[in-house]
Amino acid sequence: MESVRDRRQYEILQCRQGDFRKVMDVVVAEYNLEIEVNGQPFVILLCTPRSLENLVAGFLFSEGVIRGPGDLQEIQIDVDQQRARVTLRGSDDFALAAQRSHIRQTVPTAGGKGHSTLDAAVLQSLTEGYDGRITIRAARVPELMDRFGKMSQLFADTGGVHSCALSDGEQILLFEDDIGRHNALDKVLGEAMMRGIALNDKVVLTSGRISTEILAKVARRGIPAIISRSAPTSAAIDQARTLNMTLIGFARGQNFNVYTNFSCLDMD
């Protein structure tokens, strides 16, 4: 499955301070993965061609199509055909879940409307059953994000991917990268699901913007906190406040902004 290259080299004309020269440049690969579920075409993900089984499992998990590994019978990845064949237990349940998920056929790397958001009914159900209690040591945030920012060799080589990690607030437990920030998160969630890692006391670390789509994926899985190097959107802040989630943005160097659930922060 890892035989497909995740980077390619091109000869380019490079300009530096007005001087031009031809050099070889390393560029991240883009890969179209068609997912079939129970024999039905379901979605095409534009992604980085590695950790594909985690991506497929995490996408279905984060979009609410499956509830856990018990819903999965098999995932077959055909790298050459760029196809993932998923068999679920209970085709009727899948048809209903697919209808509810409102996922369009092709999901771009940026995610956008291809991914579910939290509609009013889902938001209400999460609010009623959401714990949201976690304590984050303020001193650990810069340390975690510094370590997180150095983990992607693919970013160091190409500058073309987003990163995502799962943390317990002290250590980084899982790490993935991808051309799409949504995909990177799905890969982490997929691995966590397959390994049976509890999520209700974990923190998501991400390099990308925190939009409502990203927040929805995190909230659906009961994760109480998310930290990003980038900015949140206003809608993401509003929904995080409703859910009592902890949302931290612009975590760079020794600086970060806490947008919601201030009481979660241990400043000692």
Which pLDDT band, with edges at 50, 70 and 90, does 12 fall under? very high
pLDDT at 10 over 60: yes
% of the chain with per-residue pLDDT over 90: 76
Q: Is residue 185 domain-shared with residue 65, that is, in the same domain? A: no
Check: CB of residue 144 under 8 Å from CB of residue 253.
no
> Is 125 among the domain residues?
no
Whether 177 is covered by a domain: the verdict is: yes
Helical packing angle, 120-129 and 212-220, nearest 10° = 40
Q: Report if residue 10 sits inside a domain.
A: no
Residues 38 and 52: beta-carbon distance below 8 Å: no
What confidence tier does 1 reach under pLDDT thresholds 50, 70, 90? very low
Residues 102 and 176 in one domain: no
What is the pLDDT, as a whole number, of residue 201? 94
Domain match, 61 and 175 both? no
- The 10s digit of each residue's pLDDT in 71-129 is 999 999 999 999 999 999 876 555 555 554 555 555 555 554 444 555 555 565 565 44
Question: What are the angstrom distances between the C-alpha of 67 and each of 30, 64, 119?
Answer: 29, 6, 18
Compare 15 and 98 and report the one with higher pLDDT.
15
Q: Within 10 Å of residue 78's Cβ, how many Cβ atoms?
A: 13
238-262 per-residue burial string, b: 16 or more CB within 10 A, e: under 16: ebbebbbbbbbbebeeeebebbbbe
Residues 140, 78: one domain?
no
* Final residue in a domain of this structure, among 81, 115, 149: 115
How many whole angstroms separate alpha carbon 213 and alpha carbon 220? 11
Domains: count for the chain: 2
Q: What pLDDT sits at residue 19?
A: 96
Residue 219's φ and ψ, nearest 5 degrees, are -65, -40
Cβ(235)–Cβ(216) below 8 Å: no
Pairing type for strands 31-37 and 40-47 reads antiparallel
State the pLDDT at residue 65. Answer: 87
* CATH code, 100: 3.10.20.10
Q: Are 6 and 48 in contact (CB under 8 A)?
A: yes
Q: How does strand 203-206 pair with strand 225-228?
A: parallel
The residue range of the domain holding 94 is 31-115
**How many angstroms separate the CA atoms of 181 and 164, rounded?**
7
Please give the pLDDT value at position 113. Answer: 43
Residue 241's pLDDT band (cuts 50, 70, 90): very high
172 with 57, same domain: the answer is no
CA distance 64 to 256: 31
Q: Is residue 25 part of a domain?
A: no
Q: Are both 177 and 235 inside the same structural domain?
A: yes
The per-residue pLDDT for 115 is: 46
Q: How many Å apart are CA 177 and CA 50, to the nearest integer?
A: 9
Average pLDDT, the chain: 88
User: What backbone torsions phi and psi does residue 19 show, to the nearest 5 degrees?
Assistant: -95, 135
Q: How many C-beta atoms surround the C-beta of residue 24 within 10 A?
A: 9
Indicate whether 105 and 140 sit together in one domain: no
pLDDT-wise least confident of 53-67, 80-94, 173-187:
80-94
Give 144-156 pLDDT, tens digit per residue.
999 999 999 999 9
Both 87 and 200 in a single domain? no
Query: Any idea what the CATH number is for the domain that residue 262 is in?
Result: 3.40.140.10
Shared domain check, 90 and 181:
no
The answer to whether 205 touches 181, Cβ cutoff 8 Å, is no
End-of-domain residue from the set 115, 145, 168: 115
